[in-house]
A and B are shown apart, each in its own frame.
Chain A
């Protein structure tokens, strides 16, 4: 019997897992995907917003502000990358300037620190490619950018070190509540019992609710966003996150510097019927191109190396839906966690665990809790002496596998065997950035495939690109049977 089962190992599930690991309770995280951070957490803008637009007093506002602060502490504890680039929200005319002033008001009410309103010429000094059509700017120095799936990995790894269990490829297919515990059915077969249940299933969170509630109080409506990625070697045309004014549809098409130097363009915002199918379209990508160009000049569109899409878990509520189920006691929903979900994630976890679930009244503190997690070694970011020392200990640091991002064989092997080890091409890319660069794996995919096969002692025919069934190869070439 578990005390808590968390459904979903995205950024929210991972943060909640870590928060719960501070207590003496038995926690299991179940994830339908074959990896942590594989859906919404994998495809978003990566921004820790300043809280300049959520309705004052809303959970979105309160938890965004708090989450933004908490990332400073998390950076130290979890060794995660943070880019403190700040943001500019831009206005183009008098009507928009009024709206910008209204946003500044909201920022003030929400307690956003250090914000200011700048003239175009003031902003231009710090952002030389800013479109000359911009007339006024809301400057938000506390806006940061992180690496979302690395944050989820870090939180989950730390939670595991502190006693949490994680099961991947565990899809919840049924939920029953007897008098005092839940029976959670996994993959239409096994049953796992738990006293409490936490629904952190992101875009699928309403599907989870429907498994046990007659009339779920929230409904997820998928809102797709498409993006371009610009090669990090050409990413220096912009210094801040550049936002247009927000609309009903969200924060708009942004230009966002990333922690490793790339720049993201996007997202658009399209309601989709199929929330499980984040596909890019010709029209969607064109929209992103046309709108990003109005913010910043000299965007190197010829240096785009990738496009992708993600689906936001928007709901029929304006605000985050973080509540105990009205129908089923002991079931807690984290519904409608769209933007600023990443920004608020650590605060959401704390709010759920301490205020909604009041875990501190139910369980003792975990005395051996250790908040510290060290990130995997990025060999080529180290100084020469450190590199020599590491090479002396393991000469596989000497062999480069991904030449674009300069990832060594040792780093690949560590990613395969780590606490959250992965043995898929995509999993290795998420962990090491092998294949994330200019040639998009054209050079290193074959090498990564061979290392996976060797480390797991399997045939290359067994190596998967992503899901278990997505094997890279269909067969050997014509061979002479021995």
Chain B
């Protein structure tokens, strides 16, 4: 039986598989695409690796560092193989997968790490009104068409959503000869990293319309996109009259958010956190199903790939710990998101684990200066000053949880400092 099956060979899966293999565990990495590296392969811009390698790489270069290591460690992996079902029978997992080469096949594993990444929200998810022509693409799909397949989806482009993929694509399409007429963002602040706003929009004179959204999509007689209308929105995100702006474009790229892809867990009854739209985990990245770990963008959408790598390395180590771990009755408390906090992971702290505690969270409002406090029984057990908080950037804190009592939940709060 395999010790650890890792599902998805993007940044997260590569890191988790490597860490587990370095501890001499029998690992199998399963990837549905025909190459290792996941979404990194289509991210041909640079900016990857500053935290992990102190060097700046493109996406494929970053992936390559890990792929080399994977191969030198002789880690087993399968390509062009889609996992279709994940089940748990008593203490073991049954993984059903399929490929052109082998058809449907089942394997057993003691533990599973899901690093299946995320999918893009579509116009359907935000109920964007209008016609349904060709020319409305998810930014990531258009990026794949452009950078992997070598095709342009259009020449005159508007972008909805200031998420990082949208910003990167604004620059990429411009460099490739398209005209990018603007980026609209429904929030009053940008959802992308500041460096991307500067390097992808400002440097190319592409206007950013904050508090605006697309309110109509108009097709021509061939069902090609010909025009979009954007409008300013009020505090409840309702479009305001007389604020219409028309853009005559053949392409609308959507960069309106990523959602962790945990559809593989449908068959298992795993506890879900509506805030992250992913599963609840403890500090070992273990879900409510013992031995099932989730990390990377399938746990929470990260801004930087370096953090996906680091989180998944920790998940890999925890899966190794699980293999030798006794199944004690766990003492467990909950980690709650308090004031000004959008979400936290992990959502649970389980005292039966040796693994350290790293709490990731996002603020839900922009703050210059703030103090982050962890509170248990009305007492502040940990605090840290933080600067320049924005919802677009994930924050992490870490402290020794042995100082906590094992009965009361803890709450993470942010207090704005003036």
Contacts and interface: CB of A to CB of B under 8 A. Distances in A.
A469 to B, nearest CB: 4
A284 B141 contact: no
Given A399-B98, A467-B223, A469-B224, A404 B151 contact: no
A460 B153 CA distance: 11
A305 B138 CA distance: 14
Interface in B31-85: 32, 80, 82, 84
Contacts, number: 141
B102 A398 contact: yes
Interface stretch (B126-134, B201-209, B330-338): B126-134
A285 B104 contact: no
Given A304-B124, A384-B104, A477 B151 contact: yes
Contacts of B218: 279
A227 B124 CA distance: 11
A445 B124 contact: no
Contact of B127 (A228, A439, A445, A474): A228
A458 interface: no
Nearest to A301: B127
Contact of B100 (A284, A396, A470): A396
Contacts of B223: 465-467, 470
Contacts of A474: 152-155, 250
Interface in B267-291: none
A409 B100 contact: yes
Interface stretch (A74-82, A366-374, A387-395): A387-395
B80 A399 contact: yes
A266 B263 CA distance: 27
Contacts of A278: 131
Given A472-B151, A479-B150, A398 B134 contact: no
A119 to B, nearest CB: 35
Contacts of A403: 32, 82, 263
Contact of A406 (B80, B84, B133, B261): B84
Contacts of B140: 442
A281 B100 contact: no
Given A474-B250, A477-B176, A306 B141 contact: no
A450 B151 CA distance: 12
A478 interface: yes
B99 A399 contact: yes
Contact of B146 (A229, A304, A388, A477): A477
Interface in A399-458: 399-400, 403-404, 406, 409, 438-443, 445-446, 450
Contact of B134 (A284, A285, A465): A465
Nearest to A285: B127
B88 interface: no
B103 A281 contact: no
Given A403-B32, A474-B154, A285 B129 contact: yes
Interface string B138-170: 101100111001111111000000000000000
A3 B53 CA distance: 76
B215 A282 contact: yes
A397 B145 CA distance: 25
A475 interface: yes
Interface in A294-349: 304-308
- Of A233, A277, A281, A442, the most chain B CB neighbours within 10 A belong to A442
B99 A446 contact: no
Contacts of B129: 279-282, 284-285, 307
Contacts of A355: none
Contacts of A391: 103-104
Contact of B222 (A409, A439, A470): A470
A331 to B, nearest CB: 28
A406 B131 CA distance: 28
A392 B144 CA distance: 33
A473 B224 CA distance: 11
Given A285-B129, A400-B32, A470-B222, A306 B152 contact: no
Contacts of A440: 122, 124
B297 to A, nearest CB: 14
Contact of A472 (B119, B122, B153, B222): B153
A282 B239 contact: yes
A476 interface: yes
Contacts of B215: 282
B152 A476 contact: yes
A387 B104 contact: yes
Given A387-B104, A391-B104, A476-B150, A277 B138 contact: no
Contacts of B138: 442
A289 to B, nearest CB: 8
Given A279-B129, A285-B127, 16 more contacts: A279-B218, A280-B127, A284-B129, A305-B125, A306-B124, A384-B104, A398-B102, A400-B82, A400-B84, A403-B32, A406-B84, A409-B100, A439-B122, A442-B120, A460-B151, A477-B151
Interface of A: 228-229, 233, 277-282, 284-285, 304-308, 380, 384, 387-388, 391-392, 395-400, 403-404, 406, 409, 438-443, 445-446, 450, 460-461, 464-479
5 contacts: A279-B218, A306-B124, A399-B80, A467-B223, A473-B145
Interface of B: 32, 80, 82, 84, 98-104, 119-120, 122, 124-125, 127-134, 138, 140-141, 144-146, 149-155, 176-177, 215-216, 218, 222-224, 239, 250, 261, 263, 266
